[in-house]
Structures are given as structure tokens and as C-alpha cells.
Amino acid sequence: MASSPQTTPPPHHVAIVMDGNGRWATKRFLPRVAGHKQGVESLRRCVKACADRGVGVLTVFAFSSENWNRPPEEVSGLMQLMVAALAREVPRLNADGVRLHFVGERAGLSDKMVAGLVSAEQTTAHNTRLILNICFNYGGRWDIARAAAKLAEQGLPMTEMNLDRAMALAHVPDPDLFIRTGGEQRLSNFLLWQSAYAELFFSDKLWPEFDEAALDEAIAAFQGRERRFGQTSAQVSASAA
């Protein structure tokens, strides 16, 4: 009697490039910052959905190190939005058992914003239901270069394990599922080291349109895949059995 195919467990760590906020606003003849505000609503919905579905870690790309090159009014609006979102969302996230980590270069951010990031991390440090990593002023190449510099400063050998432990996301396992919204199919310098074996899922939905059904579609696609990590299908089946 043939054995039934193994089902991949749900992802423990989901990473998302939240792309399409500006295009969502432009389609509605609104300023691009209005799209980013709507994107915060989508993130709130996604955090709740991930927690409800047993996801342990959610990592989102909120602002890349390359985003400083956008129009000044959009960058300024994003900074103001971040400060406002911290004041509004942190109490709610804390009540929902979400632990916040802000990942990225803090040099160059305002003192007020840095203080807000530190306060949010301290306020939610005891929570265990979901870890939410918000990558802000982050880049994958920056992450790798920073880790290498840290090892050199400590006089440690440049091994794969040491580099991994020096990365900005060393406090969580690598992503299982990498989602990008907005119809683009590239990594855009996000979690380059950590996503070596992540399953990629690209959605045509703009981020403000990404809802629970879209998340379920991505998770279902993930569970339909066989994760081999360099092994053969026969080896994976034997290990599962």
C-alpha cells in the first residue's frame, strides 16, 4: 500500500516585502503617503492573522536603506508615519502578546524615533505569542557587511556559523516563507543571507489589498512544496517516515 504524501508543516517564520503602497494610492489619485497609511492597516491585519494561524515569527520590510533616494516629501511622510504608528500601535500589539524588534541601521534616524523604537522593544519584551521584526532602514548587504565587521572587531574567524550568529536576525530562525506583494519578483536586498532556503511566493496584490485570504493562499502554496535542503526526495520521505 502506497504511503500518502507528506504535508509540509505551516511556516514558523514568514517574511514579507510589503510592496505596492505607492501604486495603490496613485491608482486612486491619492498622494503616495496615503498608500503607506493604508499599508499600516494591512500590516495590523496581517499580524493578527499570523498570530491566529500559529506563525511564530513575522518579519516585514518597512523601509530599506535605498528608500532614502525616494522623493523627500515621501521620505518625510514615512518618518512621520512611523512615529505616529509607534504611539498608536504599540499598546495594542503589547496587549495582543506581540514582541517587537526593530532591525536596521539607527544612525541617521532622529533621536525621537530611536527613543520610540527602544521604548517599543522594552515595552513588549515579555511577550511570547508572536515575534514581529520590523526592518527599518535595513538592507541585506548592510546586514552581511555589519556582521563581518563585528567578527573582525572581535577577532573571530569568518566562518558561516559565526557570521550567522552576528546577523541582525540571529534571535530568530531563518524564514521559511518569503512573500512579496505588488507583482514584482525580486528580493530587493531583503534578508539575503537568511533567505537561502526560504520558499518564495509572489503575489500580484498590492500590499494594501493583501488580506487573510491572500495570506492563506501563500501558506497553502508553501505547504504544497517539498523542502529538501539539498537532499533528494527519497531522503526527505525516509526522514519523515
* pLDDT, position 226: 81
pLDDT greater than 70 at residue 6: no
pLDDT greater than 50 at residue 42: yes
Question: What's the rounded mean pLDDT across residues 199-220?
Answer: 97
pTM of the model: 0.90
pLDDT greater than 80 at residue 147: yes
* pLDDT, position 4: 42
Question: 36-40, 80-84, 112-116 — which is least confidently predicted?
Answer: 80-84
In the sheet where 57-64 sits, what is the strand order?
98-103, 130-138, 57-64, 13-17, 177-180, 199-202
* pLDDT, position 121: 96
**Cβ(18)–Cβ(60) under 8 Å?**
yes
Q: Is 117 left (phi over 0), alpha (psi -120 to 50) or beta?
A: alpha
**Grid cell in block for residue 166:** 552576528
Of the candidates 58, 139, 144, the one whose C-alpha atom is nearest the C-alpha of residue 99 is 58
**Cβ(222)–Cβ(97) under 8 Å?**
no
pLDDT greater than 90 at residue 167: yes
User: Exposed/middle/buried for 188, CB within 10 Å: 0-12, 13-18, 19+?
Assistant: middle
> CA-to-CA distance for 94 and 92, rounded, in angstroms?
5
- pLDDT band for position 241 (50/70/90)? low
* pLDDT, position 229: 58
* Mean pLDDT for all residues in the chain: 91
What are the pLDDT digits (tens) for 79-113? Answer: 888 888 888 999 999 999 999 999 999 988 888 88
3-class secondary structure, 2: coil
- CA 140 to chain centroid: 12
pLDDT greater than 60 at residue 1: no
Of the candidates 174, 144, 166, 164, the one whose C-alpha atom is nearest the C-alpha of residue 14 is 174
**Cβ(110)–Cβ(137) under 8 Å?**
no
**Cβ(48)–Cβ(96) under 8 Å?**
yes
Exposed e or buried b for every residue in 140-170, given b needs 16+ CB within 10 A? bebbbeebeeebeeeeeeeeeeebeebbbbe
Question: 74-88, 120-134, 150-164, 208-222 — which is least confidently predicted?
Answer: 74-88
Residues classed as catalytic = 19, 67
